[in-house]
Structure 1
Amino acid sequence: MQYRSGKEIRQLFVNFWESKGAHHYKSFSLVPDDPSLLFTIAGMVPFKKYYLGLEEPEYACAVTSQKCVRTNDIENVGHTARHHTFFEMLGNFSWGGYFKRESLTWGWEFLTQVLGLDGSRMYATIYKDDQEAFDIWTKEIGMPASHLVLNGEDENFWFMGPQGPCGPDSEILYDQGEEFSCGPDCHPGCDCDRFLEIWNHVFTQYDRQADGSFKPLPRKNIDTGMGLERLASLIQGVRNDFETDLFTPLMKKAGDIAGVRYGENDQSDLALKVISDHVRAVCFMIADGILPANDGQGYVLRRLIRRAARYGRLIGINKPFINDVIPAVIELMGDPYSELGENRLTIEKIVEIEENSFGKTIRQGSELLDAEVKAALESAGKTLGGAVAFQLYDTFGFPLELTREICAERGVSVDEEEFKKEMEQQRERARSSSKQIANNVIKGNVFNALVNEFGATDFVGYEKSECNTKIRALVRDGRQVDALGEGEEGMVLLESSPFYAERGGQIGDTGLIKADGVLAVVRDSTHPFGELNMQTVTVTKGTLRVGESVLAQVDLDRHLAIARNHTATHILHAVLGKVLGGHVRQNGSLVSDRFLRFDYTHYEAPSREQLEEIETLTNAAILTDRPVTTAVTDLEAAKASGAKALFEEKYGQTVRVVSVGDFSSELCGGTHVSSSGMIGSLKIVSEESIGSGIRRITAVTGMTTVHLLQELSRTADELSARLAVKRPLLIEKVRGMEEEIKELKRQIDGMSRARLAGSIDSLIAKKTLAGGAVNLYIGRVDGQNMELLRESGDKFKDGDPKAVFVVFSKAAEDKVQILCMLGEEAQKKKLHAGKIVKELAALVGGSGGGRPNMAQAGGKEPAKIDAAIAAAVDLVAKFIGA
């Protein structure tokens, strides 16, 4: 068997199926056009609409090498030979073209004749009642019957959901030899790697009914999937995927940074595997527009960056390093995945932000671990709780191995059983809320029926603001109706529509639908399903009826205001790249008639000077009155011309390119003005951070800019009058007032400290506990801020190492503040400030916590403060066992 690189195998697969008549689709995005999925998890995901009959395929058969992300086994990455977060799935698909015979015989041809696998070492699993597949394998391909494994539905029958397309499947296995065996009872289907599963062929030929029966589909389909990494390990003769050329350059680069080599020891090997897997996934996720966040896809991305960084620290890399590995990913996979190189600056900036941020989180986690290890050393069992280990893992990114190692160095064990329970509870929560559970498409709703009956709506709004048309359908309360009467609300499907329906960040048009004696106000235009363009209306006169001829009129003033903001958004996007750098990418937008909102990737707040430059350059481009032109072309030609393709958009093969002179060129389906001068001017209203590495500009254009400037002028005039200074001197006047306020505040704080110092002794009672081992200083000091209370606490604990300082304060708005601080000797008596305030806070209707030596909490029931003070004595005594 000839050695083949991963790149060669990928290309051979594509070429082979193209020779059989398949159309090659380049890999679709990791972000699926499917709300039921978090990521593209298989090669068939982009084609699910074809299997469900929601759309007609462009071609009868296809081939892809699809990039995928799966997240249900992140913890197993590196521990096994085959688990990955990012992987490539080779797949060939047919929708009414070839079927079972061709799929299996051609698949056999590819494996044996193109790749040179030994056919005598291959096995196949089939559904027990699939006689057709059995005959193809034994009579046409010539596989011995002894090499066929017959299974039931659980193993060899594929379902898309409880109802819908389904069918038997056949999995091809390869015997890697006894050296991969798990023992004398090893057999095909065993969990070990001897009989390696390499390629699954799904024969989607039935439609499962609600009663569980199977109805033949009018069109038989093929869906196959084969992991490139797994196939490469077989072709390249290595024991696991990580030893293929798809990973080794990345592991070598990470190893060079750490000063270790793959194969030296299990711990460093594990770290190098995790790093190589996660960095691949991170690069592809960011290239497809996913950015770090606290939930959803962004949470997974952030977690992968942090896991890679932590595993780097396990092998001695104590600085940000992921960006040093990224060039190796791009060099290895930039062909065919050009998006990696195109978005390199963005990838590196996002990773830099996240890794630096994580460095701070690691330090916080280390503080928590140090404190908990100290507490464990003072306990009888010298064991770190599993819940703490899980908090370190989940919140601070500490792998269990690292926590175990640090604890072992200090003579502390980890309750790993409790850790496993916490982990399983998290997985259960994830499973119950994960979007990936819902892998069903709801069929039969009213909009699906309209798509099937009428197809896409004919949109004429690029050329016209009104048109004569007919009503194709009316919908009220989720059902088709024949008419909408006066006062009724519903949705209208027109034969041709001038109304732009909300999409791509641009809001939908409003306007009127008219006929003799009939008037309906269009309140919104949306795409409720697929390419349907429907208007939400209220009938104010007469009755709208299906089949009636009507005049559809767009609210032109509002429409033009939206168009001004949309074209301005394109110009702003181009300017941001020029001023802030080529890494800037759009991350979302909202284009309305009142304002525009533009979200973009950037690592820090722009300076005042940069914002002024952005505003100036944008207005300069507007005032040159550049022509705005559109062109319809194919996707690859558009990208080759330099047109920007936006992260959040899903594009077909035919796209619309909007250009503002030679200043800006973007793929866009929205509406625009005919020249930039029609925008008038742009004024930035605000610039803010909305997430790690993501910022937002809000701006206005046209007459809204004029109104805003008038309002600002009125405000300045009123301030000038109130402060009795001319407008140019306003800032100087305010600065002087700020200095006066600071001085007054300093004087007030000094007086507060002096008053508190004079009264604190009379308000704080001292109680000696545990035979003088601890001195509890406790009391109530109302109306003081926490900073002053901490200063008082410092004096008590600095003057008495045995001090346990506990103070309650009734703050404004009937809130309770609690502070606990411990002296050095008191900390050695099994006391923990965080645990003390947590229990005290519960007594006054609140919660809180903190470090072992200092913690604070809040409550909502000040009436219970005195009772809590009385209870504090027994509580502290309980903690020290007195």
Structure 2
Amino acid sequence: EDQFNKTIDQGLRILNDMENALRAENKKILSGAEAFKLYDTYGFPLDLTREILEEKGYTVDEEGFAASMKEQQDRARSARKTTNYMGADATVYDQIDTSITSEFCGYNNLSCESEITVITSSDELDESGNVIREAAITDFLGEGQKGTIIVEKTPFYATMGGQQGDQGTIETSSGKFEVEDTIKLRGGRVGHVGTVLSGMISMGEKAVLTVNETDRHDTEKNHSATHLLQKALKIVLGDHVEQKGSYVAKDRLRFDFSHFQAMTGEEISRTEDLVNKEIQAALPVETRIMDIESAKKTGAMALFGEKYGDEVRVVTMGDFSIELCGGTHVSNTSQILLFKIISESGVAAGVRRIEALTGKAVLDYYKKQEQILFEAANTLKTSPAELTDRIIHLQKEIKDLNSENESLKNKLASSALGDVMDQVKEVGGVKLLAVSVPDTDGGELRNLGDELKEKIGEGVILLASSKNGKVSLVAMVTPEAQKKGAHAGNLIKKAAGIVGGGGGGRPNMAQAGGKKPENIPAMIEAMPSILGEQLG
């Protein structure tokens, strides 16, 4: 999941670079090749790329996109070796007899017996990552070997529609295979990808396939919760909300949807409360197989851009939610137990993302938050109930101490400067005080400048200091000195040049920095001449 988010973020950056290139070249159409690169490399659906670009006045060469897609498919067919999940050779799957298919029996069963029809091995690599034996269709897999098993009938749900594939075991009389992932293959086949734990798995054997029950049920809770969430978002935010993507696994759910701005805290709370209300209402979850036209007439929500067959599964949750969906679900919303939104963020222009937890994961989340709360209270030597008051009290203490510290630093800087009024010079009828203050930062110099400005009355002040090898400069010019031509921003620009830096500012006050503290004396000595040039 972390890697998926990194890939999406990288894709967003690439799209931004493409937009900048279009702008620089004064073009309005993103090439099909580049749109396909986003799709193929970074997992960006074409409709999402189109939507992001249209908001900024650009379009996509969709014919070019289709041509790039066909070119890749042709290349894949002719390629001798193209890798797929866990290093399995994609052409291995292409070599499977087209008459072999898989029937899914896992909506109501988590275990069934079936015959093994295909076994493929995975690439075997040496320690350097070089292929020492290529993936191939084989008659058996031995202990420790990785591969893919296909059977006639399976209770394992393959990754589709955002729902992650099942995990579990395949056992025969001679061996045990751990299913680490379940993938959808072309031709209606389901691939069980994993490793032989013990013994040997052979072609033609009868096998017992068993889905990890806990993981499946947790995944179903999260999947059913996304249906409740989508309807709740439409109620809270409006009918413009449409699903843009989802990720449903055993430990969490993610739901991407169309919305034009970040959700407020109140909107998040209302959405969460509404979902939990329908969970507590114990709504029956029912599934019907219908023809697509009849399903549309029921008002069932469909995923934008998704292609559906002549027959579809319609999942209803009481009178609250009705959607087209091929995934697995709880039989009653009460089985979800609890729903908690843990984050809401933006992933693209006009696309928001909610990440949430359900069931026991919510209880674990609250337990962790409670632990953090008790640890924080213990650290601050108070109780959880009084933690907020304790933090407010400490913040006030810190604010008072910072104020006191600033006051002491200003007094220290003033003390270090000493009585400098005897260093005031007059240039063209304007008083000038240019002095160096040791080990003082810019903020302290400004405060010191304000003090000296009151003492000098009317004139020009320039203060310099060196701290940690860096120079800080502050220039101040009073109103009467400005009338005679003095300008703080122009003064400090020339002064900063002498100490190897730069800066500027307003006529009355300016700041700058430099890299050559050894030149401060020379700069102070040059100030009468610099001011004289301004005064003419």
What TM-score do you get using the length of structure 2 for normalisation? Answer: 0.65
Pair 872,708 (structure 1): closer, same or farther in 2 beyond 3 Å:
same
**Inter-partner Cα distance in structure 2 for 1:821 and 1:494:** 79
Which residue number corresponds to residue 57 of structure 2?
A: 304
Which residue number corresponds to residue 741 of structure 1?
A: 398
Please give the residue correspondences for 1:39-438 in structure 2 after superposition, counting only pairs within 5 Å.
85=29, 290=48, 300-301=53-54, 303-304=56-57
Which residue number corresponds to residue 301 of structure 2?
A: 644
Query: Any idea what SS the aligned residue of 2:301 has?
Result: coil
**Inter-partner Cα distance in structure 2 for 1:619 and 1:564:** 12
Answering whether residue 120 of structure 2 is matched by residue 474 of structure 1, we say yes
**Inter-partner Cα distance in structure 1 for 2:325 and 2:373:** 40
Choose from 90, 103, 106 the match for 1:447: 90
How far 1:515 sits from its partner (Å)? 0.9
**Inter-partner Cα distance in structure 2 for 1:682 and 1:830:** 60
Which residue number corresponds to residue 526 of structure 1?
A: 183
Instruction: Give per-residue Cα distances to partners, 1:416-461, cap 9 Å, x unaligned.
Output: xxxxxxxxxxxxxxxxxx9999663131444255246455643333
Instruction: Give per-residue Cα distances to partners, 1:115-144, cap 9 Å, x unaligned.
Output: xxxxxxxxxxxxxxxxxxxxxxxxxxxxxx
Q: Say whether the 8 Å CA contact 2:336–2:358 is kept in structure 1.
A: yes
Match of 1:460, as an amino acid? C
Answering whether residue 245 of structure 2 is matched by residue 599 of structure 1, we say no
Which residue number corresponds to residue 274 of structure 2?
A: 617
Choose from 96, 109, 124 the match for 1:464: 109
Which residue number corresponds to residue 355 of structure 2?
A: 698
Instruction: Give per-residue Cα distances to partners, 1:513-558, cap 9 Å, x unaligned.
Output: 1111211211222347786532331211112334443222110111
**Inter-partner Cα distance in structure 1 for 2:436 and 2:153:** 77
**Inter-partner Cα distance in structure 2 for 1:855 and 1:686:** 42
Further displaced range: 576-585 or 821-830:
821-830
Pair 871,753 (structure 1): closer, same or farther in 2 beyond 3 Å:
closer
Choose from 128, 135, 143 the match for 1:486: 143
Q: Say whether the 8 Å CA contact 2:280–2:333 is kept in structure 1.
A: yes
Choose from 141, 156, 172 the match for 1:499: 156
**Inter-partner Cα distance in structure 1 for 2:410 and 2:243:** 51
Match of 1:622, as an amino acid? I
Query: Any idea what SS the aligned residue of 2:395 has?
Result: helix
Query: Any idea what SS the aligned residue of 1:629 has?
Result: strand
**Inter-partner Cα distance in structure 2 for 1:606 and 1:616:** 15
Q: Say whether the 8 Å CA contact 2:52–2:349 is kept in structure 1.
A: no
How far 1:746 sits from its partner (Å)? 3.1
Q: Percent identity over the alignment?
A: 27
**Inter-partner Cα distance in structure 1 for 2:446 and 2:66:** 49
Which residue number corresponds to residue 18 of structure 1?
A: none
**Inter-partner Cα distance in structure 1 for 2:111 and 2:288:** 23
Pair 71,635 (structure 1): closer, same or farther in 2 beyond 3 Å:
farther
- Unaligned 5+ residue runs, structure 2? 1-10, 32-44, 83-88, 124-133, 426-431, 477-485
Pair 833,704 (structure 1): closer, same or farther in 2 beyond 3 Å:
farther
**Inter-partner Cα distance in structure 2 for 1:297 and 1:615:** 31
Q: Say whether the 8 Å CA contact 1:524–1:535 is kept in structure 2.
A: yes
Q: Say whether the 8 Å CA contact 2:233–2:271 is kept in structure 1.
A: yes
Which residue number corresponds to residue 129 of structure 2?
A: none
How far 1:677 sits from its partner (Å)? 1.1
Give the paired residue count.
449
Pair 741,448 (structure 1): closer, same or farther in 2 beyond 3 Å:
same
Which residue number corresponds to residue 39 of structure 2?
A: none
Pair 597,761 (structure 1): closer, same or farther in 2 beyond 3 Å:
farther
**Inter-partner Cα distance in structure 1 for 2:119 and 2:495:** 68
What TM-score do you get using the length of structure 1 for normalisation? Answer: 0.42
Greater RCO, CA 8 A, separation 6+: 2
Q: Say whether the 8 Å CA contact 1:71–1:85 is kept in structure 2.
A: no
Q: Say whether the 8 Å CA contact 1:451–1:532 is kept in structure 2.
A: no
Pair 757,512 (structure 1): closer, same or farther in 2 beyond 3 Å:
farther
**Inter-partner Cα distance in structure 2 for 1:479 and 1:71:** 43
Pair 447,533 (structure 1): closer, same or farther in 2 beyond 3 Å:
farther
Choose from 355, 365, 369 the match for 1:708: 365
How far 1:723 sits from its partner (Å)? 6.3
Which residue number corresponds to residue 171 of structure 2?
A: 514
Pair 590,741 (structure 1): closer, same or farther in 2 beyond 3 Å:
farther
**Inter-partner Cα distance in structure 1 for 2:296 and 2:520:** 69
Q: Say whether the 8 Å CA contact 1:627–1:661 is kept in structure 2.
A: yes
Which residue number corresponds to residue 681 of structure 1?
A: 338
Which residue number corresponds to residue 569 of structure 1?
A: 226
**Inter-partner Cα distance in structure 2 for 1:603 and 1:818:** 47
Q: Say whether the 8 Å CA contact 1:500–1:508 is kept in structure 2.
A: yes
Q: Say whether the 8 Å CA contact 1:599–1:694 is kept in structure 2.
A: yes
Q: CA RMSD in A?
A: 5.4
Q: Say whether the 8 Å CA contact 1:804–1:821 is kept in structure 2.
A: yes
**Inter-partner Cα distance in structure 2 for 1:820 and 1:449:** 71
**Inter-partner Cα distance in structure 2 for 1:742 and 1:486:** 66
Choose from 522, 538, 549 the match for 2:206: 549
Instruction: Give per-residue Cα distances to partners, 1:615-643, cap 9 Å, x unaligned.
Output: 22111101111122234445565445333
Instruction: Give per-residue Cα distances to partners, 1:67-93, cap 9 Å, x unaligned.
Output: xxx99876788xxxxx86499xxxxxx
Pair 577,453 (structure 1): closer, same or farther in 2 beyond 3 Å:
same
How far 1:511 sits from its partner (Å)? 0.7
How far 1:564 sits from its partner (Å)? 0.4
Match of 1:652, as an amino acid? Y
Which residue number corresponds to residue 240 of structure 2?
A: 583
Which residue number corresponds to residue 102 of structure 1?
A: none
**Inter-partner Cα distance in structure 1 for 2:157 and 2:494:** 62
**Inter-partner Cα distance in structure 2 for 1:776 and 1:852:** 18
Q: Say whether the 8 Å CA contact 1:526–1:535 is kept in structure 2.
A: yes
- Unaligned 5+ residue runs, structure 1? 1-34, 40-69, 78-82, 88-286, 291-295, 308-433, 769-773, 811-815, 841-848, 858-864
Which residue number corresponds to residue 431 of structure 1?
A: none
**Inter-partner Cα distance in structure 2 for 1:834 and 1:488:** 70
